[in-house]
Amino acid sequence: MLILIPMDSNDPEKASLVMTDQAKYWALIKLDEGKIQKIDFYEDRHKIEDFIDVVILASKNDYCWQFIEEDIPILIAPFQRSIEDIMEAFLFKELYELNG
């Protein structure tokens, strides 16, 4: 499973979730059997050629039409900011679905 997250840094330990218009990097997280297998960072999300299973955004007010048009499911992380916290919330189904 590939998860896309807009981040302010390409350091997996320090990066924080930000609104899409503030994203300096896009973290593409490969999750397999409940564990992070790999994290790649992209400055331009359009350079990602793989199929994205879900995008996680910071707010329901974030610009999300680009993902709706691409038919990518959207989850909202209202409180989580670090990759570790976001992935834990994802695994425990604590993120909110955005119903476009």
As a whole number, mean pLDDT of residues 9-22 equals: 97
- CA dist 17 → 33, 43, 75, 95, 100 (Å): 23, 14, 13, 13, 21
Which tens digit of pLDDT belongs to each residue from 45-99?
999 999 999 999 999 999 999 999 999 999 999 999 999 999 999 999 999 998 7
Ranges of each domain in the chain: 2-97
Give start and end residues of each alpha helix (H) in 1-100: 65-69, 83-91
pTM of this prediction?
Answer: 0.95
- Pick one of 1.10.10.60, 3.30.800.10, 3.30.420.130, 3.40.430.10 as the CATH number of 2-97: 3.30.420.130
Tens digit of pLDDT for each residue in 23-39? 999 999 999 999 999 99
Read off the amino acid at residue 19: M
